[in-house]
């Protein structure tokens, strides 16, 4: 199994850390969606990181879907997502917050590093910087 993507992506890190915690062996190919676009496209024409090449050649993408498949490969005791309703709900709540934080951070990086300076939206950027957005510090993790 091959994990494709750069570890500066929170989604690639999420998959890498989770695979390790589950004890699954994999190869990690550090291919960038920006700097190695053509190479990435030859692995997955959608060019989405993380991509995950299964042993039969099937290419999965999206961290949640990759981990859904990975959990099916291990013994129940090694799975990271609880099955029981109450702890599962709590796990989904925390995972949702983490994914939302990742999406906002990635969008912020794209806005600041990929968009031309004269096309940026300063107010949009401001709302996504946690130290300047008190509503992001009042989250209830319980």
Ligand X SMILES: N[C@@H](CCC(=O)N[C@@H](CS)C(=O)NCC(=O)O)C(=O)O
CA distances from 121 to 17, 53, 113, 116, 126 (A): 34, 37, 13, 11, 9
Segment near ligand X (CB under 6 A), from 44-52, 76-84, 89-97, 126-134? 44-52
Map the footprint of ligand X across residues 94-123, applying CB under 6 A. Answer: 106
Segment near ligand X (CB under 6 A), from 23-31, 46-54, 75-83, 112-120? 46-54
Nearer to ligand X by Cβ, of 72 and 86: the residue is: 72
Does residue 53 belong to the site contacting ligand X (CB under 6 A)?
no
Among 19, 50, 53, 67, binds ligand X (CB under 6 A): 50
Q: What angle do CA 39, 43, 48 make, to 5 degrees?
A: 90
DSSP code of residue 27: E
**Cβ of residue 112: shortest distance to ligand X, in angstroms?**
14
Quickly tell me which residue has 């004269």 as its tokens: 118
Does residue 13 belong to the site contacting ligand X (CB under 6 A)?
no
Nearer to ligand X by Cβ, of 77 and 113: the residue is: 113
Report the run of H or E that residue 29 belongs to, with start and end. Answer: strand 27-29
E strand residue ranges, 50-98:
51-53, 59-61
């Amino acid at each position: 199994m091959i994990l494709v993507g750069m570890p500066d992506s929170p989604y690639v890190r999420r998959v890498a850390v989770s695979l390790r915690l589950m004890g699954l062996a994999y190869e990690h190919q550090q291919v960038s969606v920006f700097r190695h676009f053509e190479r990435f496209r030859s692995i997955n024409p959608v060019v989405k990181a993380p991509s995950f090449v299964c042993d039969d050649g099937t290419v999965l993408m999206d961290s949640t879907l990759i981990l859904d498949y990975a959990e099916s490969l291990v013994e129940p005791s090694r799975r990271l997502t609880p099955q029981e309703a109450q702890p599962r709900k709590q796990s989904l709540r925390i995972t949702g917050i983490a994914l939302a934080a990742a999406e906002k951070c990635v969008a912020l990086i794209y806005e600041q590093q990929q968009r031309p300076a004269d096309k940026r939206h300063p107010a949009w950027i401001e709302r996504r910087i946690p130290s300047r957005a008190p509503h992001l510090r009042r989250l209830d993790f319980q």
